[in-house]
Amino acid sequence: MVNKALSLKGYDIIEAQNGEIGIEVARRELPDLILCDVNMDKINGYQALSTLRDEPATAAIPFILMTGLADNAGMRHGMELGADDYLAKPFAIEALYAAVDARLKKAQRLREEAEKKLVDLRDNISLMLPHELRTPLNGIISFGEILSTEAATLPPVEVAEMGRAVFESGQRLQRLIENFLIYARIELLGADPQKVSALRRERTPLPARIIESRARHQARAANRESDLVLELVESPLPISEEYLAKIVDELIQNAFKFSQPGVPVCVSMGDLPNGVTLTVTDRGGGFSTEHITKVGAYMQFERKIREQQGLGLGLSIAKRLTELHDGTLTIQSQRGASTAVTIKFPRPG
């Protein structure tokens, strides 16, 4: 009945005789939508759903479960496994059409949003990458040429200044390359469930020590040691020391970058009943609501208004690392007044 009804609506239908074959067909054909009975031979609907959700190629395919035993426990189990909808048999043809149409439209919207993000990403890279690469390279090449040809005629103080400029440009270029490589690495990690599971088994037993060390380092680099305020409570975190240090570096560097000297940047860490929080607060320009929702790789805001260094990867790296460790990153910001970036980690098991 289902096949005939959907065929009459103009859909192309591919049928599988049991769950095992259905999984292979889904892997091969990558359909726009899967309608699946819960009760099937060899592999049931829940097992098929779980298998396909665990594979990157099929994880996002809309999946509707159909069953004549639509009890609350079964429906909840299906939704927990990632089902998009549930049709209880017997169902009217209109209900079938409505469910299929709704899921296909939602999938189309998600594809369009993903395509738009890809276009935005490409545009941001094409606009910013040449500038971010050329600016430090120009400094290195220009001062390097002067030093190589005229060092003997230059006063020592000018040689020192040029050397410092070359060093700072090299540091800027190094950070750009490192962030690019780190972002690529964590995106690859995120696509491998086993590696994500391994990441979440990492532990930092004394994170306050690392947070304080990295915070003071960033304050010295910004020449704002007196602006740093630390309010840290020691509590173990489910993340490696390396990745914790990276998150702290990016958040605190941003806080100093987007606030003026003489105003405090506060780094606090505290316990909650079900987790641990790390918050970095500054009294800078703040984010608009639109900007907060668009935080992502290679995304900078108001570049025409204020000069920024980097590709906008820092906050995105912090966010992705937090999510890979089963945490959340939230931003609370008052335009023109303050920004608080809060990371919440679950307690280590």
Range of lowest pLDDT (24-28, 39-43, 259-263): 39-43
Mean pLDDT of the chain: 83
Sign of CA dihedral 207, 208, 212, 213: negative
Of 58, 49, 50, which is closest to residue 26 (Cα–Cα)?
58
Q: Tell which wins on pLDDT, 258 or 214.
A: 214
Domain spanning 2-91 has what CATH number?
3.40.50.2300
Q: 32-74: per-residue pLDDT in tens? A: 999 998 888 888 888 998 899 888 788 888 999 888 765 667 6
Give pTM, 2 decimals: 0.57
| Residue 83, token pair as written in the block | 């089902």
Q: Average pLDDT for residues 177-205, to the nearest whole number?
A: 83
- CATH 3.40.50.2300 residue ranges of the chain are 2-91
pLDDT at 260 over 80: yes
- CATH 1.10.287 residue ranges of the chain are 114-191
Other C-beta atoms closer than 10 Å to the C-beta of 259 total 22
- CATH 3.30.565.10 residue ranges of the chain are 202-346
Q: 107-158: per-residue pLDDT in tens? A: 888 777 767 765 665 666 566 666 677 788 888 999 999 998 988 889 999 9
Range of lowest pLDDT (83-97, 266-280, 311-325): 311-325
C-alpha separations of 141 from 133, 169, 187, 316, 334 in Å:
12, 10, 33, 31, 41
Q: Tell which wins on pLDDT, 292 or 173.
A: 173
DSSP for residue 44: -
Q: Average pLDDT for residues 222-245, to the nearest whole number?
A: 94
- Give me the residues paired with residue 332 across strands: 340
Give domain 114-191's CATH architecture: Orthogonal Bundle (1.10)
- Give me the residues paired with residue 343 across strands: 278, 329
Sign of CA dihedral 158, 163, 169, 175: negative
pLDDT of 172: 82
pLDDT of 338: 79
DSSP for residue 31: -
Domain spanning 202-346 has what CATH number?
3.30.565.10
* SS3 labels along 189-208: HHCCHHHHHHHCCCCECCHH
Q: Tell which wins on pLDDT, 146 or 193.
A: 146
